[in-house]
Structure 1
Amino acid sequence: GARKVLEAILAQAPDNVVTLARLSYVEINAGDYARVERICRKTVALRGSSLDYNNLGTALFYQHRPREAVEAFQKAVALAPKRPANLSNLADAYFWSGDIEAATRTYRSALALCDRLLAQGSYDASIHVIRALCLAHLGRGAEAVLESQAAIEQSPRDAYTAFTAAVVAALNGDTQACLAWTQMARQLKSPPEWFSGPEFAALRSNRAFAALVPASARAR
C-alpha cells in the first residue's frame, strides 16, 4: 500500500519532507497519531509550513492534548490565515480544551472566511464540511444540516464527510441520525478517536454508539 511505498522512499532519503508529509496523511487516516506527531515534528523542523503545523496539531488533538494543539494550530493560522481549515481546527482545539469563548469567536472567524471565499468563487470542496462544523458549533443546526448534505452530495463515500454529518447530528441532539452517520463513517474506516470529543458526550452511555466506537475512544 501507500505506507510501504512511502517508507521505501524514506529509507533512501529520510529527510524527504514531501514524502514525510504524505506519510503523515496516511497515518492520520489510519489513526496512528503518536506516529503522526513524530513525523510532523520532523517536517516542522525541516520545513515548518502551515500544513506541517496543521498536521502536528491534528496529531496532538487526537491524543487529547488540546492545549498543545492550540499552539500548533495558531502557528498554522499565522502562516496561512486565509485557509479556513486552519481556523476551524483551531476552534475545535479551543472547544476540546474547554475555552468556549475562544472557540465561538474562532468558529465565527472561520465561517466568515468561508463566506468570503464563496462570494469570490475561490474555494475547494471542503468548504461545505467546514461550514457545517462551524454552524453546528455555533448553534445554527438547521443551516449546519444543509451544509452537511451539500458536502455529502459532493463526497458520498468520504469518511470525514460522514463524520461531519455525525457531529452535526450530535450537536443537534438527533441521536438516531448521529448513530446512522457514525456507522457510515466507521464503515468508511474513520478512526475511533474522531468520536472521542465532547460533541459526543451525550452518547457515551448509548449501547448502539458503544457498539460502533471502542471503549478506549469513548472514555476520553
Structure 2
Amino acid sequence: MSKLESRTLKWLADTGFTVRTPAMWTAALTHGSTGEHDNYERLEFLGDRVLGLSVAHWLYDAMAEPEGTLATRLNAMVSRQMCAEVARGIGVPEHVRVSKQADSDGGRDSDNILGDVMEALLSAQYLDNGFQAAFDLVHHLWRPALESGDGSRKHPKSALQEWAAGNQRKPPEYEVIGKSGPDHKKSFTVRVRVHKVGEAEGTASSKGAAEREAARAFMERYG
C-alpha cells in the first residue's frame, strides 16, 4: 500500500483528524477500484455506526422532540448525500485514491464513494483516538447542518421517490445522457423519467449531483 502523501497528512491534521496509524488512514481514502486489499470497506462499516451514535446523541440533547421526529432528522443527517456534502466541504475529493477508470467515470466526486470515505475517516479517527475524539469531530464537521436544520428537509431524490409512490407511479428512472469536460473537471447530465408523468434533466460535476438536480427539476415541474 502506498504511504500517505505529505499534503494529505497536512490536510488531515488541518481538518481535525489525528493520524497515529498512517496505513489505516491510507485505507480509509482508498477505493476498491484500485485493486488494493486494504481499502475503506471495513472501515466504512464501523464509521457508519460511529456517525449514527454521535448524531443521535447530539439530537437527543438538542431537541425536545418525539422519537419519530428525531428518527427522521437522524436519517437525513447520516444519509449518504449528507456525508458526501460534508466530504466535499472539507476537501476529501482531492485526496481519494481511485483507479484511472473510476476517476474518468466521475468516481472522485461520486456521492457513494465520498459518503463511504467520510464514514471510513470517522472510523479511523475512532480507532486511532477513541470515541470522544470521533464524537467531537462529528459535531464540528456536521454542526452547520445540525444547527441550520438542513437535515429536516428531504433530499430531492427521496422526495421524488415518495411522490411517485404516493401517486401510484412506477419508481423514477435515472439515465446519464451526457458527459463532457476533462477528467479533472467533468460535467454530467442526467435525465429522470416517471412513467406516464414526464421527465426532467439536471447537470452537475458528478453523476450523483446531476441526479439530485434532475429530481429537483422534476418536482418543481410536476410535484
Query: What is the TM-score with the length of structure 2 in the denominator?
Result: 0.26
Structure with bigger gyration radius: 2
Instruction: Choose between structure 1 and 2 for higher RCO, CA contacts under 8 A separated by at least 6 residues.
Output: 2
Query: What is the TM-score with the length of structure 1 in the denominator?
Result: 0.26
